[in-house]
Amino acid sequence: MKYRLCYEKKDSLIFISQLDLQGVFQRAFRRAKVQLEYTQGFHPHPKMTYSPPLALYVASKEEYLDVALEGEQDEKEIFAKISAVLPRDLILRSVEALDENSPSLPSFLIWADYEIVLRGEALSEDVAKEIEGYVLNSSEILIQKKNKKKQIVTKDLRPLIESFAAKVVDGEIVINASLSLLNDTLLSPVLLTNTIKERVPSANHLITKSIVKVGTHK
Amino acid sequence: MRIFSFKTKFSDIIKLMNRINITPTQIKDTLYTQILPEVFKPARYTGGEIGSKIPKEDTEVRFAFTFPDTYEVGMSHMGLKIMYCLLNEMQGVTCERAFAPWEDMAKLMRQYNIPLYGLESFTPLINFDFVGFSIQYEMCITNVLYMLDLAGIPFRSSERNDFDYPLIIAGGPCTVNPEPFCDIFDIIIIGEGEVVTPKLIEIYKEYKGRTKEEYLKAIMNIEGVYIPSFYSVDENNSRTALVEGAPLEIKRTYIPDMNEVYYPEDTLVPFIETVHDRVMIEIMRGCPRGCRFCQAGFIYRPVRQKRLDLLKKQIDDQLTSSGYEEISLSSLSTTDYMACTDAISYIMEEYDNDKVSISLPSLRIDSFSLGLVDSIQKGRTIPLTFAPEAGSQRMRDIINKNVTEEDILSTMRQAFENGFTKIKLYFMMGLPYETDEDVLAIAELMQKIVDIYFELKLRPKDLSLSISVACFVPKPHTPFEFFAQDSKEEFDRKQRLLIENVNRKVRLTYHDSSLSVLEAAFAKGGRNLNDVIITAYEKGCYFDSWGDYYKEDMWKEAFSAHGLDFAVLAKREYDYEEVTPWDFVDIGVSKKFLVREAKKAEQQKTTKNCYEACSDCGINKDGGKCNFEI
Ligand code: SF4
């Protein structure tokens, strides 16, 4: 039987990569004595699928994990057992049993909302406007990036940004952006932030305190 | 108000004051917002793992367990996990952890004035009562200085007056010769720390308002405790007690019954992958074999096995509390644990549902061991590792490695027949009485193994044979403590000889000969090395065991700055009657026995293992053979 877990990842857990997080969850199921279903063969591994990987240093209010468990188990019971054993900065929000009609993760994870906070000196309303204008008025935002084969390729970020707004709150620039979550066009908020940082050298200190909200179709 | 010595520079005082005044909250905030987003593997520096403890509100004594290597190495160490739980179970005691930060982290910590802190509460180490270093191997000693430096704590015990600074303690296997680094530490624990450390803390509670010297006097007669500052030592290694009642001989402490050894119910589970990322359960302490080069084989005597029912309970506790997918049964010689097969079948039956895999380190080369690996390995992709240690039978007899060529070859044949293709063998060169023929015998042995593989009609594909050849380092408290080490030039020549003669199918790795020579100088060194270590650190030596980080030239300069040469020190021989720098440490095994064994080595005579016959090593004070039943 398959289940969908929704969880929050914050504070110390933002320093854990997606790969390491997989180990954290697998061990949590064993500690909770919630029996995982494994693949067959010499090297059995649990059947788990995650929402698109979250970049390091990014906190998230909504991440998903689909997991196959042995037999049918009560959703509330799974929730209680797993919640009890997770590290303190990894918080389970819901557990839901899946059936054949449930949408797969990639089919509804299209956009995510992020909050990016820039800290530093002289971050005025003008700077915020400049950043916002740069992103919204550009027809393309080209960056150089290494692909999986280690070749340098040019990537246009602009179509991957659905919405973008920047304002000043308590001397910090707060950016709200909706970025693509689709598998092959996933835009990491860290990448976008680095691009902004190049354009606005005055933002000498920069922290990405981000919240991911998984959107539905446009 | 802190007291500073005259030598302290004013700028250093200011820096130190700033550091101490920083609060844990400020440290955490600076880390999270400024530092951690810039460093490699930030999870090394945050704590909060499963099994980590929240500091007690009513903490009377703060103890920092400090490991002078990276997080990944330190968190793989079973002793750390045991002591961490043990101390945190004590009333009023909080134990935190600290590891050596990588260079990128250290640079930013200095830039933002963040002192080294405990991972549990972000409290600066300098504000702890105890800072206890685990000295697992000689070359980590500069990392101790590196960590003290980052913590703002002066290097020498004599520079840390009274309780202004934490008490700096050392423990771990290297303390069986503590002299080369003894000036750094206030207290050195020799032997197993599980019983001594809590005693030290309890007595400390009573002495908190008094002086450091009063406290040290109160603990100096506890078994396993060594207070280096209470002695002076002359160039002939003869010792004088500077404090009345300080014992001239220090007994190594150990727990005679393995079933009495504390073992925690839960364990630390790191978020990031570590070197040994699994449950580790000690099944036995000590080794019955007595290989003459192996320090562990002497300093952990006698063999002490754990009862099977207790072991099963610990396996359950650890696997359930950690959720780990792998367990390792650890000891110096797995199959010498008498309930080994029972323990393995227990895990395989009980934890089949959770797909828990088993790893068995330190296996002997015989068909029994291979059978065990066969039963726990469902695939054949994991490399088989064995340690014949020497190529010729003559040499294996000299070192008392009771393994015959027949054992080795038949085990290899059986391994190939059972489908194993990845095999790694460990050897040493530079052993006492070694000739070029003995070195070449490694190549010949490997040739025989290659031949066996190609003779097989139904051989598995993709043979991967590799050997690792270490440079022998003579260790204190072994029968080889009297011997000189080969010179760097000799090691290099022998390495070339082997490279030229070993079959191309065999991948050969060997150790840095220069680093091994330095290691020998430290293993056998005396008090005069303290100054050298500090000079070396000041020149920029740390993380010395991390390949590229070893700076041979700087070490040479550091030695010569004090009129010494490590190449000469490593070649130092001791007569059987001569007093060595470590003779004052009584590890339980008698020097007479070591001399007997050294003489037998010369005659190429072997000694039976403790299970077969007692060779009267001296550890059993009642006389006669130890009882090995479980
Ligand atoms: S006293 Fe005898 S049996 Fe006991 S450890 Fe020593 S040699 Fe082995």
Answer with the one of A107, A140, A173 that is the final residue of a domain: A107
Answer with the one of A82, A107, A132 that is the final residue of a domain: A107
3-state secondary structure B434-462: CCHHHHHHHHHHHHHHHHHHHHCCCCCCC
Contact A12 B47 (CB under 8 A): yes
In 3D, which of B63, B104, B365, B35 has the Cα closest to residue B193? B63
Instruction: Count CB atoms within 10 A of the CB of residue B31.
Output: 23
Answer with the one of A107, A125, A153 that is the final residue of a domain: A107
DSSP string, A152-177: EEEEE-GGGEEEEEEEEETTEEEEEE
Q: How confident is the model at residue B5 (pLDDT cuts 50, 70, 90)?
A: very low
In 3D, which of B315, B289, B287, B312 has the Cα closest to residue B301? B287
Contact A207 B37 (CB under 8 A): yes
What are the pLDDT digits (tens) for B107-134? 999 999 999 999 999 999 999 999 999 9
The full set of domain ranges for chain B reads 10-47+61-229
Mean pLDDT by 10 residues, chain A (218 residues): 93 90 95 94 88 86 93 94 95 94 83 85 84 90 83 88 91 88 81 80 58 51
Contact A44 B355 (CB under 8 A): yes
Burial class (CB in 10 A: 0-12, 13-18, 19+), A115: middle
| pLDDT value of residue B625 | 85
**Are A89 and A139 in a shared domain?**
no
**Are A11 and A87 in a shared domain?**
yes
Residue B606 vs residue A52, higher pLDDT: B606
In 3D, which of B22, B419, B6 has the Cα closest to residue A42? B419
Contact B269 A44 (CB under 8 A): no
> Is B517 close to ligand 1, i.e. is its CB under 6 Å away?
no
Q: How many CB pairs under 8 A join A and B?
A: 69
Task: Tell me which residue has its CA closest to atom 5 in ligand 1.
Answer: B302
Contacts of B52 in chain A (CB under 8 A): none
- How far does the centroid of ligand 1 lie from the alpha carbon of residue B616, in Å? 6
- How far does the centroid of ligand 1 lie from the alpha carbon of residue A54, in Å? 58
**Are A98 and A146 in a shared domain?**
no
> Is the backbone peptide bond immediately before B302 cis, with ω within 30 degrees of 0?
yes
| pLDDT value of residue B426 | 96
Q: What is the CATH number of the domain that holds A171?
A: 3.30.70.3190
> Is B626 close to ligand 1, i.e. is its CB under 6 Å away?
yes
Contacts of B378 in chain A (CB under 8 A): 42-43
Please write down the long-range contacts of A160-164, taking CB distance under 8 Å and 24 or more positions apart: A160/A185, A160/A187, A161/A135, A161/A187, A161/A192, A162/A111, A162/A218, A164/A132, A164/A135, A164/A136
What are the pLDDT digits (tens) for B296-320? 999 999 999 999 999 999 999 999 9
Contacts of B325 in chain A (CB under 8 A): 26-27, 30
**Cα dihedral A32→A37→A43→A45 (10° resolution):** -60
Contact A38 B355 (CB under 8 A): yes
Q: Is the pLDDT of residue B250 over 50?
A: yes
Determine the residue of chain B that is closest to A14 in CA distance. B43
> Is B302 close to ligand 1, i.e. is its CB under 6 Å away?
yes
**How many degrees, rounded to 5, is the angle at CA A13 between CA A10 and CA A15?**
115
d(C-alpha B183, C-alpha B530), whole Å:
6
d(C-alpha B386, C-alpha B81), whole Å:
27
What are the pLDDT digits (tens) for B420-458? 889 999 999 999 999 999 999 999 999 999 999 999 988
**Are A30 and A96 in a shared domain?**
yes
Q: Is the pLDDT of residue B7 over 60?
A: no
d(C-alpha B95, C-alpha B114), whole Å:
20
Q: Cβ contacts of residue B167 below 8 Å, gap of 6+?
A: B129, B130, B131, B186, B187, B204, B212, B215
| pLDDT value of residue A217 | 41
What are the pLDDT digits (tens) for B481-525? 999 999 999 999 999 999 999 999 999 999 889 999 999 999 999
Contact A16 B43 (CB under 8 A): yes
Residue B621 vs residue A29, higher pLDDT: A29
d(C-alpha B247, C-alpha B224), whole Å:
11
- Number of domains composing chain A: 2
d(C-alpha A181, C-alpha A39), whole Å:
28
DSSP string, B508-531: EEE--HHHHHHHHHHHT--TTHHH
**Are A84 and A144 in a shared domain?**
no
| Minimum distance, in Å, between the CA of residue A216 and any CA atom of chain B | 31
* Atom nearest to B613 CA in ligand 1: 3
What are the pLDDT digits (tens) for B345-397? 999 999 988 889 898 888 888 878 888 888 887 665 678 889 999 999 999 99
| pLDDT value of residue A172 | 86
Contact B380, B421 (CB under 8 A): yes
**Are A65 and A96 in a shared domain?**
yes
**Are A128 and A212 in a shared domain?**
yes
Please tell me which of the candidates B271, B320, B381 has its beta carbon nearest to residue A31.
Answer: B320
A172-180 vs A161-169, strand pairing mode: antiparallel
Please tell me which of the candidates B36, B273, B324 has its beta carbon nearest to residue A27.
Answer: B324
Q: What is the CATH number of the domain that holds A89?
A: 3.30.70.580
Residue B206 C-alpha from the chain's centroid = 32
d(C-alpha A114, C-alpha A30), whole Å:
33
For B10-47+61-229, the fitting CATH number among 3.40.50.720, 3.90.1310.10, 3.40.50.280, 1.10.260.40 is 3.40.50.280
Residue A201 is classified by DSSP as T
DSSP string, B535-575: HHHHHT--STTSGGG--HHHHHHHHHHTT--HHHHHT----
In 3D, which of B502, B479, B500 has the Cα closest to residue B601? B479
The interface pTM score, or ipTM, of the predicted complex is 0.86
Residue for token pair 């296997």: B173
d(C-alpha B118, C-alpha B65), whole Å:
9
| Minimum distance, in Å, between the CA of residue A174 and any CA atom of chain B | 16
In 3D, which of A140, A215, A133 has the Cα closest to residue A175? A133
Amino acid B205 reads K
Q: Is the pLDDT of residue B21 over 50?
A: yes
Q: Is the pLDDT of residue B2 over 60?
A: no
Q: What is the mean pLDDT of residues B151-165?
A: 91
Mutate to test the interface with B, among A9, A11, A15, A40 (most CBs of B within 10 A): A15
Mutate to test the interface with B, among A9, A10, A11, A12 (most CBs of B within 10 A): A12
The proportion of chain B whose per-residue pLDDT surpasses 90, expressed as a percent, equals: 82
Contact B272, A16 (CB under 8 A): yes
d(C-alpha A148, C-alpha A157), whole Å:
18
Q: How confident is the model at residue B289 (pLDDT cuts 50, 70, 90)?
A: very high
d(C-alpha A23, C-alpha B324), whole Å:
9
> Is B590 close to ligand 1, i.e. is its CB under 6 Å away?
no
* Atom nearest to B302 CA in ligand 1: 5
Contact A20 B323 (CB under 8 A): no
Q: What is the mean pLDDT of residues B598-603?
A: 97
Amino acid B334 reads T
- How far does the centroid of ligand 1 lie from the alpha carbon of residue A123, in Å? 75
Contact A12 B273 (CB under 8 A): no
Contact A83, A92 (CB under 8 A): yes
**How many degrees, rounded to 5, is the angle at CA B205 between CA B200 and CA B210?**
100
For residue A39, the enclosing domain spans: 2-107
Query: By mean pLDDT, which of A9-13, B194-198, B278-282 is the weakest?
Result: A9-13
> Is B68 close to ligand 1, i.e. is its CB under 6 Å away?
no
d(C-alpha A172, C-alpha A155), whole Å:
29
Instruction: Count CB atoms within 10 A of the CB of residue A154.
Output: 9
Q: For residue B60, what are its two tokens?
A: 């009377």
DSSP string, B195-241: HHHHHHHHHHHHHTTS-HHHHHHHHTTSTTEE-GGGEEE-TT--EEE
**Are A167 and A209 in a shared domain?**
yes
